[in-house]
Amino acid sequence: MRLVAFSVSLFACIGLASAQSEPAPTAAPTAPAPAAYQPAVLNPPAAEPPPPSATTTAPAAQPAAPAAPNGHFPAYPRKDAPSSAEQADIVSGRAALLRDRRFTPQTVDTAEVEPPVRHGDPRARWTVALSLDSVFYTDVGYDLFDDDNVSTRLGVWAGYDIAELALRTTLAIELGFGAEAQEQGIWQGALRTQLESQTFSAGASLRYALFSWLDPQLRASTGITRIAFELESDDSNSFDDHALSGFGALSAGVLVHTPAQLLENRRGEFASLNIGLLIEGGYALRSSVNVDPTRKAADHAIPITEAELGELALSGPYVRSSVVVRF
Amino acid sequence: MTQRTSFLGALLLLTACGGQSDGLDQPVELTGQPVALDERLLLISGASRTGYLIDVVSSKPKAVATVVELPYGALRAERRREHDEALVICAGRRDSVEERAEPSTLAVIESDGDVRNYELGATPFDTLVQSDDGRFAVLYRDKEAGGRTLQNVNELVVVDLDRNPSDDDAVTSKTPEGLAHAFERALVSPELPIAGEMRRLLVLLSAAEITLFDLNHIEKRGTIVELGEGEGRMPKPTQVLFGEDAPVMYVRGDNANDVFVFRLEARTGDATLNDFRPTLNPLGAGQAPRDMALFGASDTPQVFVVGRSSEARSIDPRSGKTQVVTLPGPADHIRLFQGASPKDTQVKTRALVYGDDSTTLMFVDVDSVRERPDRSLESLQITQPVTSVIEIDRPNAVILTHAQGITLLDLEQRTATPIASNGQLEGALFDRKTERLWVATKADTWVGTLDLASGETGEVLLDSTVQNLVPFFDAGKLAIVHPSRIGYVTVLDTREPSRDRARSLRGFFVDGILDRGK
């Protein structure tokens, strides 16, 4: 139940966050950022004094005049026009001034200027997850190991997007591992039974990006489970057995996750990072296993025939809840 | 919102369902003694209401049991005489807050696992006696056991096991009318020629009274016979012998110095009453007779009685003539045999007589008591008191068991061969086929053997302690039940007893437990 509550909370948080962050661009990851980028570089700081020639070159203080041949200075008709030598000095002075202005970088107070925003690639190809499976065992033989018909399996799995089959449709492959353990006393504690399993799985999933925060998906997986049994009586007799069970599973679910670039920083990092909750429901078809517990006998022991407990069928529906990190 | 609520509800429902199956809540605890059928061993567990039939005779037995569902309150089981079936007394249960009351039942388990249940009513019967042919089972309640709020202490039921449980007259409930005291014991006679008809009697023993029911005509009222005793004492009948070819009963009791002889004679009259009536003849049997036996011709048997007064008496029931032999000590038991003696090569009826706590064995030449009472007695000292006598398949030899050890006794030669044991004997069985005696000691992992042909002793080490020895000698097997929660039996080959030839079966209580209920 805590998991369910957590899931609901996470779902609400994700929805709220996505509503506040819209509209974040999800495409054109290499496009230059607009607006604030160029002014921050080219505009001088307001507190810096103007250059010496500012009064003579400020266009707002002068009447309109025809443009100079070089296009930089307007030509003014002057009564006290300088001589050629003076003009040469003026020209050379201006040239020096321009040279100074070109090659003398202005000092900018970086503490007061925001760094440029860069955007990374928002496509998350990798998925890692912690999963909690609620597996529903319908076989009455399972009652030997657990009062309830629902077992909890903890697991981890990882996936990689290998292809975009169509617009918003992604195919991924996955590997996973899960483990579960059940133990209980029967016959009023006269016998203690234990069932442990480790499951290795491989699968493929098809994910469709319905919204920026919601991906329905289908999954097909197969794998093998190593099942270990133990039966111990209160007269200190202990028996054990283990078996392998193959399985195939189909499931459908929805992945609720943070939109792409929600967690991106200004340097464009973590653009593809998103976290979410994947809820799936499915059915696992497993091969049944025979439980024939044995006890190691001494070399000179009387030949012994042990009982066979029977067949344990572990096929059944399951619900998987996964906390997913994609990047 | 509705969908989310539905989903969470389904998730909760999924985690809440389930629960432990029936059969996993009550442990298997062996109740009563194991029963040997022809080829299968029967173990019952009253707590879990299950019986387990295990094949122990086949060459490669498996740890597989045929599980039989029993009615509530299974108390004990015994083999049905002359049949490959077992009878299980089930006392039922009273009402409780959780569960309804269940009637007491006699369950008949056939060797293939089929069960017939004869419902007996609300009274929790706990004691069973059978007729010698296994047709009739009579159930009653031990007076000492606790019962219901109100208990009819004289109620009994007669079950005709040859009828189906659904037949109207399969179960007959009877209460002897007019008994002054509750009856304490019941027994069924062999077939007796009574009033021109071979019939069996149900005999109820109560203080100073004997009640007779005719099992051929169970609808009739019982006949009550009062046992009189002088000096105001109230005889408590404890032993009944029946004549072989005559409708005669011999009754001995505690607190009485007489043996009562009943002759059952035909009578006519009320159709609701038995068509016979007993005539009672008390015979003086000395002080506190403890055991009696019949000898002589079957139509004119004599009564041989021993008692705590250190006397043995030979009584002619017809004439009342009595011959007394003084014994070296008190005697409690008689074992008659036909044979010679070291002093007399003639084969005669003789008796082994011994007391419960005595180490003196006495031999009485019963046939010679009348003629030579002073020379009809011999005695033999042994090292330990006798616990039981085991009949063996040898002429005039028996095995005496003691608390620790056994004695092979030659009744003709009057020799005793003691065989010591290092522990208290838990059980002793004689295999007639191999002439081998099997013994087990308490809480030990060994069984011992005594080969009577060679006199050799042997032993077989087991992998667990012995709880019960169960013979399957006709099949050449001996099953040894070990204490175990999951079922554990070792089967020995009685022809070649060794660990290599033995086979253990373990776990048959949980055999197929995963598949039960599928």
Q: What is the pLDDT of residue A233?
A: 83
Is residue A14 a part of any domain in this protein? no
Place A52 in a pLDDT band, splitting at 50, 70 and 90. Answer: very low
**pLDDT tens column, A111-152:** 566 777 777 777 889 999 999 999 999 888 888 888 888 899
Q: Rounded to whole angstroms, how far apart are CA atoms B229 and B218? A: 30
Is residue A55 a part of any domain in this protein? no
Q: Which of A4-8, B230-234, B427-431 has the lowest mean pLDDT?
A: A4-8
pTM, entire model: 0.76
Instruction: State how far the alpha carbon of B319 is from the alpha carbons of B250, B251, B284, B482, in Å.
Output: 15, 17, 12, 56
Q: Are A159 and A165 in contact (CB under 8 A)?
A: no
Q: Are B121 and B103 in contact (CB under 8 A)?
A: yes
Q: Which residues 6+ apart lie within 8 Å of A100 measured at CB?
A: none
Q: Rounded to whole angstroms, how far apart are CA atoms B290 and B294? A: 14
Q: Rounded to whole angstroms, how far apart are CA atoms B469 and B472? A: 10
Mean pLDDT calculated for residue range B325-330: 91
Q: Is the pLDDT of residue A58 over 50?
A: no
Q: Which residues 6+ apart lie within 8 Å of B22 measured at CB?
A: B517
Q: Is the pLDDT of residue A106 over 50?
A: yes
Q: If phi over 0 gives left and psi between -120 and 50 gives alpha, with beta otherwise, what is residue A24? A: beta
Q: Which of A236-250, B220-234, B378-392 has the lowest mean pLDDT?
A: B220-234
Q: Is the pLDDT of residue A189 over 90?
A: no
- Sign (positive/negative) of CA torsion B206, B211, B212, B217? negative
Q: What is the pLDDT of residue A7?
A: 46
Is residue A221 a part of any domain in this protein? yes
SS (H, E, C) B359-388: CEEEEECHHHCCCCHHHCEEEEECCCCCCE
Q: Rounded to whole angstroms, how far apart are CA atoms A149 and B17? A: 7
Q: How many CB pairs under 8 A join A and B?
A: 140
Mean pLDDT calculated for residue range A19-23: 41
Is residue A102 a part of any domain in this protein? no
Q: Which residues 6+ apart lie within 8 Å of B345 measured at CB?
A: none
Q: Rounded to whole angstroms, how far apart are CA atoms B75 and B29? A: 11
Q: Are B504 and B480 in contact (CB under 8 A)?
A: no
Q: Are A285 and A221 in contact (CB under 8 A)?
A: no
Q: Is the pLDDT of residue B439 over 80?
A: yes
Domain boundaries, chain B: 424-518
In this structure, what token pair is assigned to residue A242? 């283990």
Helix (H, G, I), strand (E, B) or coil at A241: strand
**Cross-chain Cβ contact A148/B27 below 8 Å:** no
Mean pLDDT calculated for residue range B131-141: 95
Q: What is the pLDDT of residue A1?
A: 42
Mean pLDDT calculated for residue range A31-59: 38
Mean pLDDT calculated for residue range B352-362: 92
Q: What is the pLDDT of residue B25?
A: 74
**pLDDT tens column, B10-44:** 544 444 444 555 567 788 889 999 999 999 999 99
In this structure, what token pair is assigned to residue B222? 């019982």
Q: Which residues 6+ apart lie within 8 Å of A16 measured at CB?
A: none
Q: Rounded to whole angstroms, how far apart are CA atoms B197 and A317? A: 72
Minimal Cβ distance to B511: which of A186, A190, A307: A307
Indicate the average pLDDT of chain B.
Answer: 88
Q: Rounded to whole angstroms, how far apart are CA atoms A71 and A65? A: 12
**Hey, which of A13-27, A86-100, A217-231, B376-390 has the most confident mean pLDDT?**
A217-231
Nearest CA in chain A to B489: A304
In this structure, what token pair is assigned to residue B197? 């008809």
Place B292 in a pLDDT band, splitting at 50, 70 and 90. Answer: very high
Residues of B in contact with A304 (CB under 8 A): 463, 503-506
Is residue A213 a part of any domain in this protein? yes
Q: What is the pLDDT of residue B314?
A: 92
Nearest CA distance, A107 vs chain B (angstrom): 59
- Which residue has better confidence, A20 or B334? B334
Structural domain range at position A151: 126-293+311-326
Q: Rounded to whole angstroms, how far apart are CA atoms B503 and B509? A: 17
Q: What is the pLDDT of residue A73?
A: 43
Report the amino acid identity of residue B447.
V
* Count of structural domains, chain A: 1
Nearest CA in chain A to B48: A187
Interface of A with B (CB under 8 A): 1, 4, 8, 134, 136, 139-141, 143-144, 146-150, 186-188, 190-191, 231, 233-235, 237, 239, 291, 293, 300-312, 319
For every residue of B240-276, DSSP letters joined together read EEE-SSSSEEEEEEET-SEEEEEEEEE--S-TTS-SE
Q: Rounded to whole angstroms, how far apart are CA atoms B263 and B246? A: 8
Mean pLDDT calculated for residue range B263-267: 92
Q: What is the pLDDT of residue B193?
A: 93
Give the residue among A93, A88, A118, A105 at the shortest CA–CA distance from A48. A105
Q: Are A175 and A202 in contact (CB under 8 A)?
A: yes
In this structure, what token pair is assigned to residue B111? 């060797």
Q: Which residues 6+ apart lie within 8 Å of B366 measured at CB?
A: B295, B304, B314, B336, B348, B349, B350, B351, B376
**pLDDT tens column, B79-112:** 999 999 999 999 998 888 888 999 999 999 999 9
Q: Are A256 and A10 in contact (CB under 8 A)?
A: yes
Q: Are B52 and B71 in contact (CB under 8 A)?
A: no
Place A43 in a pLDDT band, splitting at 50, 70 and 90. Answer: very low
Q: Which of A237-241, B244-248, B475-479, B482-486 has the lowest mean pLDDT?
A: A237-241
Q: Is the pLDDT of residue B375 over 80?
A: no
Helix (H, G, I), strand (E, B) or coil at B277: strand
Give the Cβ contact number of residue A289 at 10 Å: 20
Place A46 in a pLDDT band, splitting at 50, 70 and 90. Answer: very low
Q: Is the pLDDT of residue A55 over 50?
A: no
CA B350-B352-B356 angle, 5° bins: 155
Residues of B in contact with A146 (CB under 8 A): 18
**Cross-chain Cβ contact B27/A237 below 8 Å:** no
**pLDDT tens column, B391-412:** 887 778 899 999 888 999 999 9
Mean pLDDT calculated for residue range B450-454: 87
Nearest CA distance, B10 vs chain A (angstrom): 11
Q: Rounded to whole angstroms, how far apart are CA atoms B302 and B313? A: 10
Minimal Cβ distance to A305: which of B20, B503, B518: B503
Indicate the average pLDDT of chain A.
Answer: 75
The CATH number linked to A278 is: 2.40.160.20
Give the residue among B197, B196, B200 at the shortest CA–CA distance from B186. B200
Residues of A in contact with B21 (CB under 8 A): 140, 143
Residue ranges of E strands in B464-515: 468-472, 477-481, 488-493, 503-506
**pLDDT tens column, A151-184:** 999 999 999 999 999 889 999 999 999 999 999 8
Is residue A321 a part of any domain in this protein? yes
Place B160 in a pLDDT band, splitting at 50, 70 and 90. Answer: very high
**Rg, Å, chain B Cα set:** 27
